Structure 1
């Protein structure tokens, strides 16, 4: 098992399945240009070798989230800056439907800054 797979398999269900589904959607959204690496022990997604977003867990909010690079340039009420300079996060509520289309739209919006 590679280090990225190990990261996901340390997460308990049902969070693991949700994050693996999201990972798959992000990678499939632009398979020629979006790649995945492990940076700082976290799965990072890059667009044409430039930072795009990453997945992590917030101890403060006790939820997983997607953190978007250049999120500071986007103005949307679901994205939280929370003291970050370049990133904004989207908390993932495991009790609700995953906002896949919203996440893909944010990714498309961020690509214009890369």
Structure 2
């Protein structure tokens, strides 16, 4: 089975936020987006998976068994993706959480102060 191009990590993260909060508005606030965007992402996921994830009762979305299965697997997938990015950065030498800048005396005296002032003026 081919994976539909509509199935993205961003939509899975949106889905997980909705499952965590249980509410479109709270999920939207958590993601700094609109409730319409969250609803659209969930609907797009249902289209990509070609199966329903929720039962619509009025304005509420009630998770089906398929939503709980997707939630469990999506959480695992997101964790694996984060680990993949971290390990890739480490392999490339970009693993530090903070950028450390060492300086030679000549840089410290002339270049670094000019850079700092330039950034401050911006």
TM-score of the superposed pair, with normalisation by structure 2: 0.28
Higher share of residues assigned helix:
2
Which structure has the larger Rg? 2
Higher share of residues assigned strand:
1
